[in-house]
Amino acid sequence: MLWMLALICSLPVTNRAQVEKTEPENSKFPMTQSPTYNLEKAEKLARKLRDKGIRDKAVLAAIARIPREAFVGEELAEMAYLDRPLPIGEGQTISQPYTVARQTELLELEPGDRVLEIGTGSGYQAAVLCEMGVEVYSIERYEELYQTAKETLNRLGYFPKLYHGDGYEGLPGEAPFDKILITAAPEVIPPKLKEQLRVGGRMVLPLGGRDRQQMTVVKRVSETRYSTSTHGDYIFVPMKKGTE
Protein backbone atom coordinates (compact mmCIF):
# COMPACT_ATOMS: atom_id res chain seq x y z
CA MET A 1 0.00 0.00 0.00
CA LEU A 2 2.64 2.51 1.06
CA TRP A 3 4.90 1.81 -1.85
CA MET A 4 2.00 2.51 -4.17
CA LEU A 5 1.46 5.89 -2.60
CA ALA A 6 5.14 6.67 -2.84
CA LEU A 7 4.88 6.05 -6.57
CA ILE A 8 1.79 8.20 -6.94
CA CYS A 9 3.37 11.09 -5.21
CA SER A 10 7.10 11.14 -5.09
CA LEU A 11 10.14 9.08 -5.79
CA PRO A 12 12.63 8.38 -3.03
CA VAL A 13 15.40 11.00 -2.93
CA THR A 14 17.98 8.50 -4.08
CA ASN A 15 16.04 7.83 -7.29
CA ARG A 16 15.74 11.44 -8.28
CA ALA A 17 18.27 12.17 -10.95
CA GLN A 18 18.09 15.93 -10.55
CA VAL A 19 18.48 16.14 -6.78
CA GLU A 20 21.85 15.32 -5.37
CA LYS A 21 23.13 15.59 -1.85
CA THR A 22 26.34 17.23 -2.95
CA GLU A 23 27.52 19.01 -6.03
CA PRO A 24 31.16 18.83 -7.20
CA GLU A 25 32.70 22.09 -6.04
CA ASN A 26 34.82 23.04 -9.03
CA SER A 27 32.98 21.20 -11.73
CA LYS A 28 34.50 21.92 -15.13
CA PHE A 29 31.37 20.78 -16.85
CA PRO A 30 28.64 23.36 -17.29
CA MET A 31 25.19 22.02 -16.47
CA THR A 32 23.36 21.55 -19.73
CA GLN A 33 20.41 19.56 -18.38
CA SER A 34 18.26 20.13 -15.29
CA PRO A 35 20.25 21.75 -12.52
CA THR A 36 21.40 19.71 -9.57
CA TYR A 37 20.70 20.96 -6.09
CA ASN A 38 22.80 20.97 -3.02
CA LEU A 39 20.48 20.24 -0.11
CA GLU A 40 22.73 21.62 2.62
CA LYS A 41 20.80 24.88 2.68
CA ALA A 42 17.49 23.03 2.91
CA GLU A 43 18.85 21.04 5.85
CA LYS A 44 19.92 24.28 7.53
CA LEU A 45 16.47 25.76 6.92
CA ALA A 46 14.88 22.72 8.59
CA ARG A 47 17.12 23.20 11.64
CA LYS A 48 16.14 26.86 11.80
CA LEU A 49 12.43 25.93 11.73
CA ARG A 50 13.01 23.41 14.52
CA ASP A 51 14.59 26.22 16.56
CA LYS A 52 11.56 28.39 15.81
CA GLY A 53 9.27 25.76 17.34
CA ILE A 54 8.28 23.25 14.64
CA ARG A 55 8.10 19.90 16.44
CA ASP A 56 6.94 17.41 13.81
CA LYS A 57 10.08 15.53 12.74
CA ALA A 58 8.51 14.26 9.51
CA VAL A 59 7.74 17.85 8.47
CA LEU A 60 11.31 18.94 9.20
CA ALA A 61 12.69 15.95 7.29
CA ALA A 62 10.52 16.82 4.27
CA ILE A 63 11.75 20.43 4.27
CA ALA A 64 15.36 19.22 4.47
CA ARG A 65 14.86 17.19 1.28
CA ILE A 66 13.31 19.84 -0.97
CA PRO A 67 15.30 22.38 -3.03
CA ARG A 68 13.10 25.46 -2.39
CA GLU A 69 15.11 27.40 -4.98
CA ALA A 70 13.51 25.29 -7.71
CA PHE A 71 10.12 26.87 -6.84
CA VAL A 72 11.15 30.52 -7.30
CA GLY A 73 12.60 32.40 -10.27
CA GLU A 74 16.36 32.21 -10.83
CA GLU A 75 16.79 35.80 -9.69
CA LEU A 76 15.43 34.83 -6.24
CA ALA A 77 17.39 31.58 -5.86
CA GLU A 78 19.83 33.27 -3.47
CA MET A 79 16.96 34.10 -1.11
CA ALA A 80 15.14 30.80 -1.40
CA TYR A 81 16.27 29.40 1.95
CA LEU A 82 15.51 32.49 4.00
CA ASP A 83 12.48 32.06 6.21
CA ARG A 84 10.35 34.53 4.28
CA PRO A 85 7.68 34.56 1.59
CA LEU A 86 8.80 35.37 -1.96
CA PRO A 87 6.93 36.55 -5.09
CA ILE A 88 6.04 33.87 -7.67
CA GLY A 89 4.18 35.97 -10.30
CA GLU A 90 0.51 36.97 -10.75
CA GLY A 91 0.85 38.98 -7.51
CA GLN A 92 1.06 35.72 -5.52
CA THR A 93 3.70 34.43 -3.10
CA ILE A 94 5.32 31.19 -2.05
CA SER A 95 4.48 31.05 1.68
CA GLN A 96 7.13 31.57 4.33
CA PRO A 97 8.75 28.20 5.18
CA TYR A 98 7.69 28.52 8.84
CA THR A 99 4.08 28.91 7.73
CA VAL A 100 4.31 25.91 5.39
CA ALA A 101 5.78 23.83 8.21
CA ARG A 102 3.20 25.01 10.75
CA GLN A 103 0.22 24.36 8.49
CA THR A 104 1.56 20.91 7.63
CA GLU A 105 2.15 20.10 11.30
CA LEU A 106 -1.41 21.17 12.17
CA LEU A 107 -2.81 18.75 9.57
CA GLU A 108 -1.57 15.81 11.71
CA LEU A 109 -0.98 13.72 8.60
CA GLU A 110 -1.14 9.95 8.67
CA PRO A 111 0.63 7.95 5.94
CA GLY A 112 -1.74 7.35 3.06
CA ASP A 113 -4.08 10.27 3.88
CA ARG A 114 -5.86 11.80 0.90
CA VAL A 115 -5.07 15.49 1.13
CA LEU A 116 -6.62 18.37 -0.83
CA GLU A 117 -4.57 21.56 -1.05
CA ILE A 118 -6.21 24.81 -2.21
CA GLY A 119 -3.69 27.22 -3.78
CA THR A 120 -0.91 25.25 -5.49
CA GLY A 121 1.03 28.47 -6.13
CA SER A 122 4.67 27.52 -6.69
CA GLY A 123 4.04 23.87 -5.79
CA TYR A 124 6.40 23.94 -2.80
CA GLN A 125 3.74 23.04 -0.23
CA ALA A 126 2.55 20.22 -2.51
CA ALA A 127 6.14 18.90 -2.59
CA VAL A 128 6.24 18.93 1.22
CA LEU A 129 3.00 16.94 1.31
CA CYS A 130 4.35 14.45 -1.26
CA GLU A 131 7.48 13.96 0.85
CA MET A 132 5.20 13.10 3.80
CA GLY A 133 3.87 10.03 1.98
CA VAL A 134 0.30 11.22 1.46
CA GLU A 135 -1.82 11.31 -1.67
CA VAL A 136 -1.91 14.91 -2.84
CA TYR A 137 -4.60 16.77 -4.82
CA SER A 138 -4.01 20.49 -5.38
CA ILE A 139 -6.03 23.23 -7.09
CA GLU A 140 -4.74 26.57 -8.42
CA ARG A 141 -6.92 29.35 -9.92
CA TYR A 142 -4.22 30.90 -12.16
CA GLU A 143 -3.51 28.77 -15.22
CA GLU A 144 0.02 30.15 -15.54
CA LEU A 145 0.93 29.19 -11.95
CA TYR A 146 -0.70 25.77 -12.37
CA GLN A 147 1.46 25.09 -15.45
CA THR A 148 4.71 26.27 -13.88
CA ALA A 149 4.08 24.34 -10.65
CA LYS A 150 3.35 21.19 -12.62
CA GLU A 151 6.60 21.46 -14.58
CA THR A 152 8.67 22.16 -11.46
CA LEU A 153 7.14 19.34 -9.43
CA ASN A 154 7.42 16.75 -12.21
CA ARG A 155 11.03 17.75 -12.95
CA LEU A 156 11.86 17.08 -9.30
CA GLY A 157 10.10 13.72 -9.36
CA TYR A 158 6.85 14.69 -7.58
CA PHE A 159 3.55 13.73 -9.18
CA PRO A 160 0.63 15.11 -7.16
CA LYS A 161 -2.73 15.43 -8.94
CA LEU A 162 -2.88 19.06 -10.03
CA TYR A 163 -5.94 20.97 -11.22
CA HIS A 164 -6.55 24.39 -12.72
CA GLY A 165 -9.82 25.48 -11.09
CA ASP A 166 -11.61 27.38 -8.33
CA GLY A 167 -10.74 25.95 -4.93
CA TYR A 168 -14.10 27.11 -3.52
CA GLU A 169 -15.63 24.24 -5.50
CA GLY A 170 -13.15 21.63 -4.22
CA LEU A 171 -13.10 18.31 -6.07
CA PRO A 172 -16.53 16.73 -5.50
CA GLY A 173 -15.63 13.74 -7.68
CA GLU A 174 -12.65 12.87 -5.46
CA ALA A 175 -14.22 13.60 -2.05
CA PRO A 176 -14.17 12.84 0.82
CA PHE A 177 -10.68 13.96 1.84
CA ASP A 178 -8.96 13.05 5.11
CA LYS A 179 -7.31 16.45 5.26
CA ILE A 180 -7.84 19.80 3.51
CA LEU A 181 -5.21 22.56 3.53
CA ILE A 182 -6.04 26.07 2.32
CA THR A 183 -3.05 28.28 1.55
CA ALA A 184 -4.96 31.47 0.66
CA ALA A 185 -7.33 33.29 3.03
CA PRO A 186 -11.13 32.97 2.73
CA GLU A 187 -13.39 35.17 4.89
CA VAL A 188 -15.62 32.25 5.84
CA ILE A 189 -14.95 28.50 5.85
CA PRO A 190 -15.85 27.46 2.28
CA PRO A 191 -19.07 25.40 2.67
CA LYS A 192 -18.32 23.00 -0.19
CA LEU A 193 -14.92 22.17 1.31
CA LYS A 194 -16.56 21.46 4.68
CA GLU A 195 -18.82 18.98 2.91
CA GLN A 196 -15.85 17.32 1.19
CA LEU A 197 -14.08 16.64 4.51
CA ARG A 198 -14.39 13.07 5.80
CA VAL A 199 -16.06 12.65 9.21
CA GLY A 200 -13.05 12.61 11.58
CA GLY A 201 -11.00 14.68 9.10
CA ARG A 202 -9.23 18.03 9.62
CA MET A 203 -9.07 21.22 7.60
CA VAL A 204 -6.33 23.82 8.22
CA LEU A 205 -6.90 27.34 6.91
CA PRO A 206 -6.06 30.99 7.52
CA LEU A 207 -9.47 32.50 8.26
CA GLY A 208 -10.30 36.19 8.20
CA GLY A 209 -10.27 39.51 6.38
CA ARG A 210 -7.56 41.04 4.19
CA ASP A 211 -5.34 42.53 6.91
CA ARG A 212 -4.78 39.46 9.03
CA GLN A 213 -6.15 35.97 9.57
CA GLN A 214 -6.23 33.39 12.30
CA MET A 215 -4.77 29.98 11.57
CA THR A 216 -7.78 27.76 12.15
CA VAL A 217 -8.21 24.00 12.48
CA VAL A 218 -11.68 22.69 11.64
CA LYS A 219 -12.47 19.11 12.67
CA ARG A 220 -15.46 17.30 11.27
CA VAL A 221 -16.86 15.64 14.35
CA SER A 222 -19.93 14.06 12.72
CA GLU A 223 -22.05 14.37 9.55
CA THR A 224 -23.40 17.68 10.81
CA ARG A 225 -21.01 18.88 13.54
CA TYR A 226 -17.67 20.66 13.23
CA SER A 227 -15.35 21.98 15.95
CA THR A 228 -12.77 24.76 15.47
CA SER A 229 -9.61 25.90 17.23
CA THR A 230 -7.29 28.83 16.45
CA HIS A 231 -3.50 28.89 16.32
CA GLY A 232 -2.15 32.42 15.97
CA ASP A 233 -2.25 35.29 13.49
CA TYR A 234 -0.92 35.17 9.94
CA ILE A 235 -1.10 37.20 6.74
CA PHE A 236 -1.99 35.35 3.50
CA VAL A 237 -3.07 36.45 0.03
CA PRO A 238 -6.89 36.38 -0.25
CA MET A 239 -8.72 33.32 -1.56
CA LYS A 240 -10.45 34.64 -4.69
CA LYS A 241 -13.46 33.28 -6.54
CA GLY A 242 -13.25 32.00 -10.13
CA THR A 243 -10.25 31.26 -12.33
CA GLU A 244 -7.83 33.29 -14.49
Q: Show the binding pattern over residues 63-102: x = contacts ligand SAH (CB under 6 A), - = does not.
A: -----------------------------xxxx-------
Among 67, 133, 157, 167, interactor with ligand SAH by CB under 6 A: 167
Closest distance to ligand SAH from the beta carbon of 183 (Å): 4
Q: Does 184 bind ligand SAH (CB under 6 A)?
A: yes
CB closer to ligand SAH out of 23 and 143: 143
CA 65 to chain centre: 14
Q: Quick check: is 95 catalytic? A: yes
Helices and strands per DSSP (H, E), number in the chain:
7, 9
3-state secondary structure of 214: strand
3-state secondary structure of 96: coil
Report d(CA 16, CA 95) in Å as an integer.
Answer: 25
Measure CA of the first residue to CA of the last residue in the chain; give whole Å: 37
Q: Does 239 bind ligand SAH (CB under 6 A)?
A: yes
Closest distance to ligand SAH from the beta carbon of 145 (Å): 5
Going by C-alpha positions, the residue among 218, 219, 148, 118 that lies closest to residue 126 is 118
CB closer to ligand SAH out of 18 and 96: 96
Q: Where are the beta strands (DSSP E) in 58-173?
A: 86-89, 92-94, 114-118, 135-140, 161-164
Stretch of 3-11, 17-25, 43-51, 160-168 lying at the interface with ligand SAH (CB under 6 A): 160-168
Which residues contribute to the site for ligand SAH (CB under 6 A)? 92-95, 118-119, 121-122, 124-125, 139-142, 145, 166-168, 183-184, 237, 239-240
